[in-house]
Amino acid sequence: MPDNTSNSGDKPAANFSDVQSGSSSTAPADQARSYTVQSGDNLSKIAKHVYGDPNKWHAIYDANRDKIKNPDLIQPGQVLTLPPNA
């Protein structure tokens, strides 16, 4: 029998703390993407657009150290690697 049920307000809420989970897919896992810098872009703007968080600009910078010497200076036309799950 289950160790915990709840059918009314008098009974404790069901406890799901011991639930185990897993997942898998036939689809390939995440992969790095590329992004071509547009006029007016900066790393924070790209990070916000891609990850929803401008503070993740450093992840883009780290993945493109060979292309970006100064993180405050990126050039239109540069193709940057966008790491997955930054």
Check if the beta carbon of residue 44 is closer than 8 Å to that of residue 11: no
Closest to other proteins by CB, 8 vs 70, is: 8
Closest to other proteins by CB, 29 vs 73, is: 29
Among 31, 39, 65, 69, binds other proteins (CB under 8 A): 31
Q: How many CB atoms lie within 10 A of CB 57?
A: 20
Quick one: tokens of 50? 């891609």
Is there binding between residue 85 and other proteins (CB under 8 A)?
yes
CA dist., res. 25 & res. 38, Å (int): 34
Residues within the interface to other proteins (CB under 8 A): 1-7, 13-14, 16, 18-31, 33, 84-85
